[in-house]
Amino acid sequence: MTSASTPLPVPAHIAIIMDGNGRWAKQRGLPRVEGHRRGVEAVRTVMEAARELGVKCVTLYAFSVENWRRPEEEVGGLMGLLETFLARETANLVRDRVRLRAIGRTDELPGAARAALAAAMAATAHFTEQTLVLALNYGARTEALDAARAYAAAVVAGKASLDDAKSWEGFSRYLYTRDLPDPDLVIRTSGEKRISNFLLLQAAYAEFVFTPVLWPDFGKAELIAAIDEFRGRERRFGQITEQLAAAKAEAAAQRPADVIV
């Protein structure tokens, strides 16, 4: 654990597995799509809270490659909610200067959803203050396959070398997230304790928080609680506590002394 005097900073990038919409609806005798609708409202609340707390990037697991297996009616409802969300929220994203990004095989989404997504991303592409990433038709394993294919194609075309794959930095340029920082914190709601094929490579050194709160009930207080738990941990990245302490002491010693006038 870190000491109380030196907590970790607020995570720059939080990734969230938004789970529990269906259970939330079932508990209230409502159709599953109503749970997803309320989940969309939670997205707005969480993004506002993240901005207030200084989180620069939020990635939401909105639709996985496995979600196509759900009943056709539910899948259609989810695609409709995506279109509605983009239609309603693009103006707010522009107002708040939030860049919208999408990761996944988005070319396989229905045409109307693809068009709405492209329009929203184009309208916000120039913002740098905060980024909202929607993982749509996303799976970490399909991302790895797509990255390997893109890398192989680049080698065949003479645009890359086999030596590029000797470092993570070289290979990661072919991931969907090549222009994004790795997540510092991954949150999963609803009490499930698995990561469901989400950012497997990028989250190699992320901290994980699992909360029993269902996604539609997840708000600012729950986000703060997850961040507080994150800040109380020690991120060692393969090192030991003593090495981290020595590095901090060395950095402090090299820091220029304050000038008193």
Instruction: Tell me which of 21, 67, 92, 258 is the catalytic residue.
Output: 67
Q: How many residues does the chain have?
A: 261
**Phi/psi-derived region of residue 185, left when phi > 0, alpha when psi is between -120 and 50, beta in every other case:** beta
* CA dist., res. 57 & res. 78, Å (int): 23
Residue 249's CB: how many other CB atoms inside 10 A?
10
Q: Decide if 107 is catalytic.
A: no
> Which two three-digit tokens encode residue 136?
């749509």
Per-residue burial over 75-104, b if 16 or more Cβ lie within 10 Å, else e, is: eebbbbbbbebbeebbeebeebebbbbbbb
DSSP 9-21: PPPSEEEEE---H
Q: Evaluate whether 183 touches 203 at the Cβ level (below 8 Å).
A: yes
Instruction: Tell me which of 19, 21, 137, 184 is the catalytic residue.
Output: 19
Sequence-distant (6+) residues with CB within 8 A of 162 are: 155
Q: Decide if 164 is catalytic.
A: no
Show which residues are catalytic: 19, 67
